[in-house]
Structure 1
Amino acid sequence: MREREASAGSVPAGAEHPMFRPLRTGNAFEETVERLLQAIRLGVVGPGEKLPAERELAARLNVSRVTLREAIRALQQAGFVQSRRGRYGGTFVVDEPPTAIRHDVRGVARRWDAARLADVFTFRHVLETGAAEAAAARELTAAEREHLTAKLAEAGRADLADFRRRDSRLHLAIAEVTGSSALVSAVADVRMRLNELLDAIPLLERNIEHSREQHEQVVAAILAGNPSAAREAMAEHLAGTASLLRGFLG
């Protein structure tokens, strides 16, 4: 790997770039991954160049160093960066960053340009936040409550290989307990499109953990009959997924 070793006291590549501005929402891990990938893809930190120091980067992004390290570890596993120790150590962008972890991502990216990605994200946001809100507004039967709780439990204990299937089933269950068959069909349609994208990016353990936490918040709000909380929790959950997809496929 070519290392552009900075002399003592020099500023790492892109350290003052506005790309490293504070994050906006509660999806700190996912947005940190997105922001770092954007910086790499746009050449703010180029091949062989060093990311800003952890302390500085965490402060600029307004995230904890633990979250930043988790994001950097995810990018290491995906092959975008390498960490080195020693006097000139730090985290460096690899010489040839991958387009993504899956071999078919280029074909996916060709089919899903920025406009089409934005379209599906908007459609999903409207559908699934509305589904969560509508489910929470209904007086659910005992069978519906049991169905939703069971699908939440299945998603919660799924291993990485099975998580996305169980995740899809939980999102469909939320639509199902609204009592609207048309809404179920629409959510199933958008989920099919979304899964093509999700299958092209790596599974990140920290994101899966965060998704499970958000699933619990959404379902708890639905079962408590709190439409606004259900809608807000679902919106935050969807925004985290969108951040990862924009980062890897953007």
Structure 2
Amino acid sequence: MSLPSDPIDPVLADALFRPVRAGNAFEETMERMLQAIRLGVVPPGGRLPPERELSARLGVSRVTLREALRALQESGHIESRRGRYGGAFVQLPSSDPLPPPGDVEDTLTLRYALETGAAEVAASRSLTPQVRRHLRSCLADTATSGISDYRRTDSRLHLAIAEATATPSLTAAVADVRTRLNALLAAIPVIPANLTHSNEQHKAIIDAILDGDAVAARVGMAEHLAGTAALLRGFLA
């Protein structure tokens, strides 16, 4: 087992522990940390850099970093130890075989193409009062659902956006890719900090659709999908 004092490869550390984008800071922090663990930049038994150093390298607040470290501890990827020689130590959790990377990327790329387009088209249409009420209802259900029910209400909201395009073939395609996505999501933990962020993004997307702002709807959906993609790549790729 590697000792806590083992040095970290500086080239790989610079490549992975680099500043993340502001839009999905938590999710991208998770992705970078998981990549560092999976690639052995910090080996099993090795200690992660101190919080102050990591937050500076990643360009995120200590609060965001601590949320990511807490999620990694709960998922079994790190162990937190107290005391003079304490810190966050890497451990590899036992898990089921990962899906082929090609499956992950194929699903994420297809989802991006379909759902950004659906949001843009929905915002471009003149929506009926019934459709507008349905979008608001799905948004409220997702925002108030518990962890155990979140992915069901999240799926329903994304399908409601597709339905708002009044294009049955697009709705069917979004339903198909969502089925594939949910199979991937089932392989990673549900992270409360990510759900809070997702709810904020959902509101921005629905507001843009209801306001008829097609550009904002597409950009908002792209940002939202990038957050989920970062988590899936971090855990599964």
> Normalising TM by the smaller chain, what interval?
over 0.9
Contiguous gaps of at least 5 residues in structure 1? none
Query: Structure 1: how far apart are the matches of 2:149 and 2:23?
Result: 26
Q: What secondary structure is seen at the aligned counterpart in 2 of 1:82? A: strand
1:215 matched residue in structure 2: 202
Q: Is this contact kept in 1: 2:2–2:43, CA < 8 A?
A: no
- More off after superposition, 14-23 vs 69-78: 14-23
What are the superposed Cα offsets for residues 207-228 of structure 1, whole Å, 9 maximum, x if unpaired? Answer: 1111111110100100111000
Q: Give 1:12 deviation, angstroms.
A: 5.4
Matches within 5 A, 1:157-176: 157-176=144-163
Q: Is this contact kept in 1: 2:104–2:184, CA < 8 A?
A: no
Q: Is this contact kept in 2: 1:15–1:51, CA < 8 A?
A: no
One-letter identity of the residue aligned with 1:219: I
Q: What secondary structure is seen at the aligned counterpart in 2 of 1:202? A: coil
RMSD of the alignment, in Å? 1.5
- More off after superposition, 14-23 vs 224-233: 14-23
Q: Give 1:3 deviation, angstroms.
A: 7.1
1:243 matched residue in structure 2: 230
Contiguous gaps of at least 5 residues in structure 2? none
Matches within 5 A, 1:100-179: 100=95, 105-106=96-97, 109=98, 112-179=99-166
Match of 2:17 among 20, 36, 45: 20
Q: Give 1:14 deviation, angstroms.
A: 4.5
Flag the 1:99–1:194 CA change in 2: closer, same or farther, 3 A.
Answer: farther
1:75 matched residue in structure 2: 72
Q: Is this contact kept in 1: 2:31–2:231, CA < 8 A?
A: yes
2:50 matched residue in structure 1: 53
1:98 matched residue in structure 2: 93
1:185 matched residue in structure 2: 172
What are the superposed Cα offsets for residues 55-87 of structure 1, whole Å, 9 maximum, x if unpaired? Answer: 111111111111010000000001110111211
Q: What secondary structure is seen at the aligned counterpart in 2 of 1:83? A: strand
